[in-house]
Amino acid sequence: MPAESDIKIMPKSVVCEESTLNGDITISSGCVVHPSATIIAEAPIVLGENCIVEEYATIAHRLKDGAASDASNTLHIGANNVFEVGCTVEAARIGDKNVFESKCFVGSGVTVSSGCVVGAGIQLRTAQVLPENTIVYGRQALQREAIEKQGSQTLQIDFLRKVLPNYHHLRKPNYDPKKARSVV
Amino acid sequence: MSFMQPSPVKYACSCGIVNPINKLFFCRHCPKLRCGYCVSHEVESHFCSNCLENIPSSEARHKKNCCANCFDCPCCHHTLSARATTVPVVRKTEEPKDGESAGAATPPPASSKPSAVPTTKKMYYLSCLSCRWTTRDVGIPDQGVATGTWPDNECLYQARFNTLMEYYQSVVLQEKQEKQEFQRRKAPKAHKFPSLTDRTGLTVSLIRRQIGWSEKNVPKTKPLNITPAEAISELEDLPQDIFTQPINLRNITTVAQRHSQPADQPTAVGNLYPQRRSLWIKRSLRCRQCEHNLIKPEYHPTSIKYRIQLFASYHVPEVVMVRLEHPLEAGQSNAILLKLSNPTMYDMTISILDEKPTEEPQINPDEFQATCKIKEEAVTSSPLMKVAALARQTLTKEVTREVRDVANAKIKLLESEFVLNQRDDSKEFDEEVQAQTEEPNFIVWRKGNKVLLRLQFTPAAELEVNDVVTLGFFMQYTYVNTVSNTAEKKEPTTHTLSSRLFIDAGRIEKGN
Ligand SMILES: [Zn+2]
Ligand SMILES: [Zn+2]
Ligand SMILES: [Zn+2]
Ligand SMILES: [Zn+2]
């Protein structure tokens, strides 16, 4: 298991200390990771900009048999995704502007493109590709196509960025992409 | 009492259906148990479950039993909620997708306005919080106010529907008129002497027509002519690409979606329109025998209280099964512990019987009903009540069916009857100072209005393992009725009533 030091937090992101981060994780700027959120990276995970990971949400990148655990097998999560309370996301690929509603489960065979919404409590376990703007809703997990992508969460992120530091200890940003580039 | 689990103790309603006590009502006037099946259900009031607005029944009929302000999602049938967006007025088009959405709502861009001060305007659209469907999905323009201005989707056949409706309304009217006419002619004339028209068979209107006068009375409504529907034998061929193009299931509506929009039953999701939310009703229940209300809810939609609530658990001793003394065995004597509680303010004398006690002589039903009716009028004479009473159809008379005896165990009857004390809420907080009187030995424990009873029984010997053992007995109890059916008598009367109970004691565990 990789050490905690593999976690790269870019500036301007809010990552609470009580979150559980395991493995090689890169958190881009503008992200908000709530306390008791979990990110498990058996192989590297790169969280895109302005993502929100709420309480008890779990993002996992599980290692399949024989797969490499190095940078060649990185899970790139796009920008502006929302992982709501209690969801578990193990998707193979995640694009931009997706919403994973509370207590939903997205299995490892699922490819999530962009602008998708997985409704509250829905379990997606079989291998499938969610095309752009897919909305999975209801008890029978019906799918429909939205006309436009979900609105961005800028207001919510700004609010959280203001409020969370007042009540929680934060992990310090330890990685500046500009500096890193100049060093290399 | 647990509402989540089915109760093992069931009471036989006076109509013969077996129910747990929390599904039963008690008519104090009859006095008998009633269930949902043997009472008449009446609509008390209409209301919208979303905005909790109370809607009078005439208005509800006019609005086709739909709320004027609330909409359901056509996609998932969840309630739609209005969302506000701020739109800068100076902008040319508010949405890039089409011009028609902005044209009506936002005023044309005023070049005189300084663009440095962007005036914004609140615009609303409806959105579903469950499936994220919005009115923008189907191109309904955003509205300046949140409620009231949403367009009704007029379906293609709306005009045809309207003419058909008009036609049939006039048909009904005509039939009614003809019936009245017929009755008027049939009825003996009030005149002392036969008039000329009677002899000759001429009617007033006939004479008037012969003279050439116009019809004096209301002209007979003739149903307007409608073009009858025509059957077509030639059908359009299916489009060629239906066999070649792969279908996109996301663009096709589900059966539930089509049914929720019955007027046009769209096949494509682009034709789904917000549906007006159906109204809910508050229901009142009425005893079919004496026509008294058993349940009458508060009028206001936000209130969950009742004006009249004759639930059986307020009047009939409640029996709760506590436990069995031994595992059930066929033919082996056993005992069951039952907790009885008295919900009324009067002491009850209870005895357990194995056959139906002879009923106290019933009051003459017709006379009884007549007195009840007079009282009813006096008690509930709100205008709404009257409407309900008028709308009520002739109540079907009670059909009593035999209660199927499913008991398969022999009960050992108690040596004597016993008294179940009245309910006294203040006693709950008292110290236990009850002087122990001599109790019959079948009473295990007694506190306040509750008694724990030990009832011995023997399951039938021929029962197999896993068979359900059902105990059946009659519980006779005294009931003090504070309402009286006759106007003069004011003091409460005491009835001796009985209820038939079935207790599902469990399954035989061991064979013998
Ligand atoms: Zn009944
Ligand atoms: Zn409403
Ligand atoms: Zn919906
Ligand atoms: Zn009655």
Minimum mean pLDDT range among B66-70, B144-148, B185-189: B185-189
Minimum mean pLDDT range among B41-45, B48-52, B158-162, B380-384: B380-384
pTM here is: 0.70
Q: Are residues B475 and B344 in the same domain?
A: yes
Q: Are residues B55 and B36 in the same domain?
A: yes
pLDDT tens-digit profile of B319-344?
A: 999 989 988 888 889 999 999 999 99
Q: What percent of chain B has pLDDT over 70?
A: 75
Q: Are residues B291 and B332 in the same domain?
A: no
Q: pLDDT band at A157, cuts 50/70/90?
A: very high
CA-closest candidate to residue B47, choices B34, B38, B39, B56: B56
Q: Are residues B298 and B348 in the same domain?
A: no
Query: Which residues form the domain of B136?
Result: 76-81+122-172+243-277
Q: Are residues B341 and B462 in the same domain?
A: yes
Q: What percent of chain B has pLDDT over 90?
A: 24
- Given B131, B134, B251, which is nearest A138 (Cβ)? B131
User: Measured in whole angstroms, how far is the alpha carbon of residue A110 from the centre of its chain?
Assistant: 14
Q: What percent of chain A has pLDDT over 90?
A: 68
- Looking at residue B380, what is its pLDDT? 42
ipTM above 0.95, yes or no: no
* B107 in any annotated domain: no
Q: pLDDT band at B3, cuts 50/70/90?
A: low
Residue B235, both tokens: 């059908």
Q: pLDDT band at B183, cuts 50/70/90?
A: confident
- Taking an 8 Å cut-off on Cβ atoms, the answer to whether B131 and A148 are in contact is no
- Looking at residue B430, what is its pLDDT? 65
Asked if the model's pLDDT at residue B390 lies above 50, the reply is no
Domain spans in chain A, listed from the N-terminal domain onward: 4-183
Please tell me if residue A150 touches chain B, with a CB cutoff of 8 Å. Answer: yes
Q: pLDDT band at A128, cuts 50/70/90?
A: very high
- Taking an 8 Å cut-off on Cβ atoms, the answer to whether B133 and A138 are in contact is no
Asked if the model's pLDDT at residue B362 lies above 50, the reply is no
Place of tokens 């494509």: B268
- Looking at residue B317, what is its pLDDT? 93
Looking at the complex, report in whole angstroms how far the Cα of residue B237 sits from the nearest Cα belonging to chain A: 29
Mutant choice from A137, A148, A149 vs B, greatest count of B C-beta within 10 A: A137
Q: Which residue has the higher pLDDT, B241 or B430?
A: B241
Q: Are residues B478 and B378 in the same domain?
A: yes
Q: Are B23 and B9 in contact (CB under 8 A)?
A: no
- Asked: is A4-183 a CATH 2.160.10.10 domain? The reply is yes
* CA–CA distance, B287 with B395 (Å, rounded to integer): 9
* B97 in any annotated domain: no
- Taking an 8 Å cut-off on Cβ atoms, the answer to whether A137 and B134 are in contact is no
| A/B interface, count of CB pairs below 8 Å | 30
Q: What is the DSSP string of A82-94?
A: EE-TT-EE--SEE
* B372 in any annotated domain: yes
Distances (CA, A) of B206 to A14, B180, B215, B231: 94, 18, 9, 41
Question: What value, to the nearest 5°, has the Cα angle with vertex B331 and ends B327 and B337?
Answer: 45
- Looking at residue B400, what is its pLDDT? 60
pLDDT tens-digit profile of B74-90?
A: 999 999 999 888 887 76
What is the maximum alpha-carbon separation in chain A? 53
Q: Are residues B341 and B355 in the same domain?
A: yes
- Looking at residue B94, what is its pLDDT? 43
Question: What value, to the nearest 5°, has the Cα angle with vertex B174 and ends B173 and B176?
Answer: 65
Interface residues of B toward A, Cβ cutoff 8 Å, are 75-76, 130-134, 136-137, 250-251, 254, 269
- Looking at residue B197, what is its pLDDT? 57
* CA–CA distance, B2 with A38 (Å, rounded to integer): 39
Ligand 3 mean position, distance from CA B126 (Å): 10
Asked if the model's pLDDT at residue B427 lies above 60, the reply is yes
- Looking at residue B105, what is its pLDDT? 41
Q: Are B481 and B28 in contact (CB under 8 A)?
A: yes
pLDDT tens-digit profile of B458-487?
A: 998 888 888 889 999 999 999 988 776 565
Q: Which residue has the higher pLDDT, B207 or B440?
A: B440
Q: pLDDT band at B100, cuts 50/70/90?
A: very low
Q: Which residue has the higher pLDDT, B154 or A92?
A: A92
pLDDT tens-digit profile of A37-72?
A: 999 999 999 999 999 999 999 999 988 877 777 778
Q: Which residue of A has its CA nearest to B85?
A: A151
Minimum mean pLDDT range among A74-88, B93-107, B118-132: B93-107
Q: Are residues B369 and B465 in the same domain?
A: yes
Q: pLDDT band at B109, cuts 50/70/90?
A: very low
- Looking at residue A83, what is its pLDDT? 96
Looking at the complex, report in whole angstroms how far the Cα of residue A56 sits from the nearest Cα belonging to chain B: 21
Q: Are residues B382 and B442 in the same domain?
A: yes
The number of domains in chain B is 3
- Taking an 8 Å cut-off on Cβ atoms, the answer to whether B132 and A138 are in contact is no
- Taking an 8 Å cut-off on Cβ atoms, the answer to whether A145 and B130 are in contact is no
Q: Are residues B354 and B497 in the same domain?
A: yes
Looking at the complex, report in whole angstroms how far the Cα of residue B130 sits from the nearest Cα belonging to chain A: 7
Q: Are residues B390 and B347 in the same domain?
A: yes
Asked if the model's pLDDT at residue A153 lies above 70, the reply is yes
Mutant choice from A139, A147, A149, A150 vs B, greatest count of B C-beta within 10 A: A147
Q: pLDDT band at B363, cuts 50/70/90?
A: very low
Q: Which long-range contacts (CB under 8 A, 24 or more apart) does B413-417 make?
A: B413/B352, B413/B353, B413/B354, B414/B351, B414/B352, B414/B440, B414/B442, B414/B453, B414/B455, B415/B440, B415/B442, B416/B351, B416/B440, B417/B349, B417/B350, B417/B351, B417/B476
The last residue of one of the domains, among B262, B295, B316, is B316
Q: Are residues B286 and B352 in the same domain?
A: no
Residue A117, both tokens: 């919404």
